[in-house]
Structures are given as C-alpha cells and as structure tokens.
Structure 1
Amino acid sequence: MHAEPTTFRDTPCIRLHADGANALVALHGAHMLSWIPADGRERLFLSERAVFDGQAAIRGGVPVIFPQFAERGPLLKHGFARTTPWTFHGIDDDAALFELAEDGTRFPGWPHPFRARLRLHLDATRLSVTLEIANTGDEPFAFTAALHTYLRVADIANVTLEGLQGCDYEDSANGGTLHREHNYEVTFDGEVDRIYGDVVAPLAVIDGNGTLAIEQEGFGDVVVWNPGASLCARIADLAADDWRRFVCVEAAQVVQPVVLAPGERWAGMQRLG
C-alpha cells in the first residue's frame, strides 16, 4: 500500500492505493470518503450535498463515531471524533494509520485523556477498518462507538441484508421498542433505524445481482439505517431521493458501553468485501 496527500473540495485528504484498489480519507474526522476496489466500482455513498467546511460532519462515507453514539450521553450527537482533525501517521504494518490524541481538556463534557487510532487496510477486493481506543489518563472512562458505514446501492427497493436472524434489536424509528428479528432477510420499505445486539454471524448486503460480505470483530452490535423518503426529504445535506442510493450497516458498540481502565486499550474492526 502507498499513500499520497491530496484535497477534495478544499479538504486535506490522503489517497491510498493497493493492488489496483484505492480509497480517499479526509483528515477531518479521519473520514473515509471513497473506496473503489480493483473492479473500479465505488462502494461507498457520499452525498453531493455533504458539507466540507472543516466543522460539520460529512454526510456519507465512513464517519467515525466516538465517544458517544447518537444522543446516548451528554455530548453532541455522535460525539466529537467525526468533526475533529486527525493526524496521518503513514503506513504501519501495511495499514494507513490515523490518530487523534487529547489530554482531556479540549472537549466540554469529556475530561478524559485518550488516544484514538484508525487503521485502514486495502487489497484488490476488501477493505478493513479498525478503530482502536486507549485510555491514557489516570481514571477509567466509558464510551460507545461505531463505524457509520454508508454503502452505495443501485436501488434500496432491491436490497436485502442477511445475517441478523435471531438477533434482538431496538427499533429507534419507533420509539426504541424492542423486537427479535425473525426474518432471514432485512428489507427496506420506509424508514429503518435499528440497533441489533450480540451480532456474531457474518452479514451480506444483496444489491440486485451483487453481494457485499461484511464481518466484524470487537464490535458487538450492528446499526442498520435508511431514512426512507419522508425523513430524507427533511435532511438538508441529502437530496430528496438519496435514500434510494444507500444503506448504512454500521459496526457498533452501543448496547453495552466499553469501560476502559487507565492504560487499557480496546479495538473493533469492520471488514467489507
């Protein structure tokens, strides 16, 4: 793998190349904007209305959610990692390494020193994204996290997600009610916003005649989201029909927060391909 600095919409980025595949990562949030395997087909969805001002979260790609998922805590929605500049530390053990390290004084409501690292590994057909969190302070802290992956699809009406049968889930689109997934395939008809717990099976996104395999380690949960037509029309950085072109399948640790003692480290990985 090799890397080169570049820009996208005036935002500093790193372009990664390996085995005929390439990826584009913004330093703002260590946010992956594009992943194109060797077959030349873009696999991530990035909204044409995404804001690139160095402040706002970027709509699409792979936002890094830390240290808080959604509104489950005192911080702003989805925490601060996705809206903070990260540092690129080059290629380490054949993976691109990005880092965010703070002493606990920068972010209101988060008085905990930490080091976050994002490792990205590419080959011709697969992408692995690993989030590592280390407690560099003197007190324990708890956090939730996710890789909020937006997968590009041809038409959500023809998309199914396999591998979640038997998992319990929280239906965030309907007041957080609890259910068990009895269907072999999850389909998308209207808004879907679910947090599946204790996910162990590999997943597969079936998009027409194509299949994308998804695996994860370290993360215990999977968040599945598509806004549907009604909600999408109210989201400023999405076009009215963008809901047809993506599904979010997020490796997450939400149901049971991670507690790190001083000096401890946690890692979670999502592999696509």
Structure 2
Amino acid sequence: MTQENLTSSGRDESKRTPTLRLEGPQGAQATFGLHGAQLLSWTPSACATERLFLSGASRYGDGQSIRGGIPVIFPQFANRGPLPKHGLARTRSWTLLGQAPACARLELRDDAHTRAMWPQAFRLLLDVALSERALTVSLRVENPGHSAFEFTAALHTYLRVADIAQVRLHGLGGGYYLDATRDFAACRQDEAELRFGAELDRVYPDAPRELRVDDGPCRTLVHSDGFADAVIWNPGATKAAALDDMEPGGERRMLCVEAAQAQRAIRLAPGEHWQGSQTLIATD
C-alpha cells in the first residue's frame, strides 16, 4: 500500500487529501482516503477502466464531503432526521488500524465533536478488500455505550459510467420504491430494466441482494449483505448544474447504486453490533 495525495481539479491545490492505495492480484487497484474512510478509485484487473466516479470539482478538507467514490453514511440517511445531511461519518477523519497490500481496516469513534451533534457513544469499523475482479466494503457499527441508539446508514457508491443514457440497471423490476423527487411517494417499477434521463432518486425497500449495471462493454454486479434497501440516484442535468461540487456534465458519467439501511432504522442496545457490506464485481 502506498501513500499519495489527491487534489481536486480547479481548486486550491494546497488543500490536499492524503490517500492510500491498495494493490490486488493481476494489477487490480483501489484508492481510499482517511477523510471519511472514503473509497475514491477502483480499477479491477479485468478492465483497465476506472469504475468509481469522482467529481473534478469535489471539495476536500475537514468538515467537507467528497462528491464521488463511496462515502460512508451514518447515523442518518439524507435529510431524514435532525443531523446534517447523511450524518457525520463522511466528513470526519478516520484512523487506519491495519493494512496489507489488498485490504485495510479503518475506525471512527465518537468524540467531543460528534457528541455535540449526536450524543451517543459509537464505534465504526470499515473493512476494504480488493481481489482481481471485486471490491468489498464492509461497515460494522458497535454500541460501546450505556444506552441504546438507532441509526440509518448507507454505502453511497458512485459508479463511473461512459454515458448514463446508455446504462441499464437490472434486478429491480416489479418492486416498489419511494420516489424522493415526489416527497417519497410509493410507486411500482413495472419495467424490467431501469433507464436514465431526467433526475432519478429512489429508495427500494427490501431490495434484491444483487443488481446488475450494464454500461456498454462494462458490466458490474452489485451485491449487498446486511443492508435491507437499495438507493438509486442520478441528479439529471438541471439539478447537477446547481451542485457546486459537480463537474460540468458529470451527471452523464455517474450512477449511484447504494447499499442502504434507509427505510427502517437499526436499534442497537449497549454491547450490540450490526454489520453490512457491498461487493462490486466486474464481470466484463
């Protein structure tokens, strides 16, 4: 594992984010930052193409959220609660507990800053494992305190695509979803494959464990365990233009397929833990 620096294109280059690189078999690579324990890049050996989207206009630094990669959402999904959007884990600096060429473990514990926002004792562990064709990210939530707490969470995965208009997402046909663009109205997806154009923002409760993203010659299986839901998001051109950390035209090159626990909160008693994971598999 080697240490590098990642800078945001078009921004002050004195503001840098330290990153670490994983090196898997047959040339597979992944990069993550200690800020937010965020995966920023993944290139499987099966395909020399970058598979995670990272906006060139992303903001970096303490308290900032990075637009792209795989942000860790905890303990609140979106704006569905009193905390800042998507909670506090993605904007905090994590501690690297262990590393090997193709895997790493990171930790985040509560401190005075987090308790000022959310008065709970917690411990998060993020495990990253890289193989020839797959990237697995596992999130473990522990309650080391003396009182129970509830949380929602997600691995907010931004997949990089060649052209969102040509992407097809399989596995959600026939299921129902909550449409965030219509105040979370309950709807049914009748079409077998999901296509994209205008803004799309959906929560699929109790989603299938495996979805497939077809992007021209690139095909990615998205498998989840522990997380009950799937979140699918693309901002569309109009909303993307209003995001100051989205590069021009970036919405055409990204699709969020997220393993999430968004609809029903998890309750942890003192001493209990919960774990969920997402595996991305390049099958092209």
User: TM-score when scaled to structure 2?
Assistant: 0.92
**Structure 1: distance between partners of 2:121 and 2:100:** 23
The letter of the residue matching 1:16 is L
Contact 1:74 1:109 in 2 (8 A): no
Of 30, 33, 57, 2:37 maps to 30
**Structure 2: distance between partners of 1:165 and 1:87:** 40
Of 12, 17, 31, 1:11 maps to 17
Shift of 1:12: 1.4
Contact 1:104 1:114 in 2 (8 A): no
Shift of 1:199: 1.0
Deviations 1:196-238 (A, max 9, x none): 0101241000112321111000000000000001101111011
Shift of 1:104: 6.7
Instruction: For structure 2, list consecutive stretches of 5 or more residues without a partner in the other structure.
Output: 8-15
Corresponding residue for 1:265? 273
**Structure 1: distance between partners of 2:193 and 2:255:** 14
Q: Structure 1's 94 and 24: CA in aligned 2 closer, same or farther, altered over 3 A?
A: closer
Instruction: Map 1:107-118 onto structure 2 (within 5 A).
Output: 107-118=115-126
Contact 1:164 1:201 in 2 (8 A): no
SS at match of 1:28: coil
CA RMSD of aligned residues (A): 1.5
Contact 1:103 1:114 in 2 (8 A): no
**Structure 1: distance between partners of 2:180 and 2:65:** 21
Shift of 1:40: 2.1
Shift of 1:93: 11
User: TM-score when scaled to structure 1?
Assistant: 0.95
Greater shift after overlay, 120-129 or 174-183?
174-183
Instruction: Map 1:182-193 onto structure 2 (within 5 A).
Output: 182-193=190-201
Shift of 1:168: 1.6
Q: Structure 1's 124 and 69: CA in aligned 2 closer, same or farther, altered over 3 A?
A: same
Deviations 1:50-71 (A, max 9, x none): 0113321000001000000011
**Structure 1: distance between partners of 2:165 and 2:113:** 46
Q: Structure 1's 35 and 94: CA in aligned 2 closer, same or farther, altered over 3 A?
A: closer
Shift of 1:145: 0.3
Q: Structure 1's 70 and 163: CA in aligned 2 closer, same or farther, altered over 3 A?
A: same
Corresponding residue for 1:147? 155
Deviations 1:178-202 (A, max 9, x none): 1122211011120000000101241
